[in-house]
């Protein structure tokens, strides 16, 4: 993954993407036990993006460097990478607040545990709720910070429902 992250940093250096952060299941592995995941989700801020966003410049840049499309991803140094625009307020905030990590000498950015949790709650699939339970069991999140994020993005009611259904079984 080191080489994959280096390529993503080159996209940033070339001005094709703005700030970026690892999210999804791979982002969660920076806080939780490793889990099986197919791809690397890279959430991106596009500075000065046009009204209609196209990922063609990213794909064109990486194709020249030998990386080919694979379904809805792009194979970058052996990893299927999905470039996802951080278009919602929550995703944008998560990218802005991402923490820098050193991945084998390569700088990378990972969403905070609290943002990953809020995104999982908002997405609301079964696997997202399972990940939330794991986050809570591992106690890696700052609960006050999580509550602030949930409140700011109108997710407190969904959180209460999640707590009732998954954390406080009858």
Domain edges within the chain: 2-111, 114-167
Topology of the domain covering 2-111: Beta Polymerase; domain 2 (3.30.460)
83 contacts: CB under 8 Å, gap ≥ 6: 17, 42, 44, 55, 58, 74
Residue 168: predicted pLDDT: 77
Whole-model pTM? Answer: 0.93
Residues of the chain with pLDDT under 50: 170
40 sits in which H/E element: strand 40-44
Residue 50: predicted pLDDT: 61
């Amino acid at each position: 993954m080191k080489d994959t992250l280096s390529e993503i940093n080159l996209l940033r250096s070339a001005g094709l993407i703005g700030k970026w952060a690892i999210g999804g299941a791979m982002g969660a592995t920076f806080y939780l036990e490793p889990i099986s995941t197919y791809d690397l989700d890279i959430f991106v801020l596009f500075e000065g993006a046009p009204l209609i966003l196209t990922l063609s410049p990213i794909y064109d840049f990486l194709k020249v460097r030998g990386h080919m499309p694979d379904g809805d991803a792009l194979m970058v140094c052996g990893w299927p990478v999905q470039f996802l625009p951080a278009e919602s307020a929550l995703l944008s905030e998560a990218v802005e607040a991402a923490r820098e990590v050193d991945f084998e000498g390569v700088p990378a950015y990972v969403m905070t545990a609290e943002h990953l949790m809020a995104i999982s709650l908002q997405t609301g699939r079964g696997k997202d709720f399972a990940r939330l339970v794991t986050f809570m069991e591992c106690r890696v999140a700052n609960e006050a910070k999580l509550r602030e994020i949930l409140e700011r993005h109108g997710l407190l009611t969904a959180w209460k429902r999640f707590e009732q259904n998954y954390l406080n079984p009858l």
